[in-house]
A = this chain, B = another copy of it.
Amino acid sequence: MKRLTLEEIGKLAGVSRATVSRVINDYPFIRPEIRTRVQEIIDQTGFRPNSIPRSLVSSRSNIVGLIIPSVVQKVFTDPYFASLIYGIAQGCNRNNLVLSVYLFHSLEEKHNVIQTIVGTGLVDGMIVTGDNRDTEILDVFLNSQIPLVMVGEPDHSNVSFVDTDNYGGAYTATKYLIDLGFQRIGIIATEINKSSEDRLRGYKQALLDHNIAVDEHLIAWGNYTAESGYLAMREILPYRPDAMFSSNDAMALGCLRALREANIRVPEDMSLIGFDDLPQALQAEPPLTTIQQTIQESGCEAVELLLRLLNDDGPTPLRTILPNTLIVRGTTRAVQSQSNL
């Protein structure tokens, strides 16, 4: 049973293919009985118009592309991306869009795939996430006609993006630790992108606002992986922090491991707060206190922004900053008087 066409449906209903097209596209001025008749045939046959010629004539494929340019290791390990894809898929489904995902295994492949994307014009728009400092990707798309939305604020202004309130979240986390009574609060920071800088800024500002000097020894650098968090924690340990804020959960999990190895109990000997609220945060031992980022919602929102870009209403670029909230679990507790030795 081969695929039907408008023409054939028209024949079955005794109308022209134009009329069938109108019925499908909810064109208002059709005689009701004709509409009914055509609709019946459509329902009986389960007809759906082929999307390719539709795209050809409308120059809209209804396909949105998603690029995750992170290195292999990250995509494999970081469930952040799983949540994100999930949210983006949701946004697509709601808006009858198809999601095409582009992943690379080498720089050369990245280059080729990007060129193909812009060259063949299959997608209506792109969502890019991961390393927001990938200049090649940004350059190529900004110089193309393809609308772009980033997940995570890029350095480049003039780009539409959605991000969580990085500064605010970090500030909240740090302030919470301060309120718990801690004074030597360390941070596992990253320099990957603007978002991570904002988290560092939030941390510093919270300290400053509470008259705690920023101690560079209590700042260690990671790259968002659990492994890097582990290493960073070990670096910082000699400087005897009494609490830690990790710029993401994956690294916080690494911290937890480093602390376990060093026989430092959490939360008895050290409090720890993460950022993201991955599923793993809940499963950690003990469950991780963290800043809950609505990753899935970010994904949805990215699609919505893209859609607005495509229908170009309003000024561009578009920005959405989503709020986040502190989720208190098992890795934090107030300073105990007897532990002040």
Q: Which residues of A contact B (CB under 8 A)?
A: 1-3, 46-53, 55-56, 61, 63, 72-73, 75-77, 79, 81-83, 85-86, 89-90, 93, 96, 98-105, 109, 112-113, 115-116, 119-122, 145, 226-227, 257, 260, 279-280, 283, 285
Contact = CB atoms under 8 A, between A and B. Distances in A.
Nearest to A226: B283
Given A101-B100, A101-B101, A145-B2, A52 B89 contact: no
A77 to B, nearest CB: 5
Copies of this chain present: 2
A85 B103 contact: yes
The A interface, classified by DSSP as helix, strand, loop or mixed, is helix
Contacts of A115: 48
A98 B122 contact: yes
A109 to B, nearest CB: 6
A52 B121 contact: yes
A134 to B, nearest CB: 17
Contacts of A50: 120-121
Contacts of A226: 283
Contact of A93 (B47, B63, B105): B105
Residue picked from A75, A79, A120, A121, most chain B C-beta under 10 Å: A120
A63 B119 contact: no
Given A76-B82, A121-B3, A52 B48 contact: no
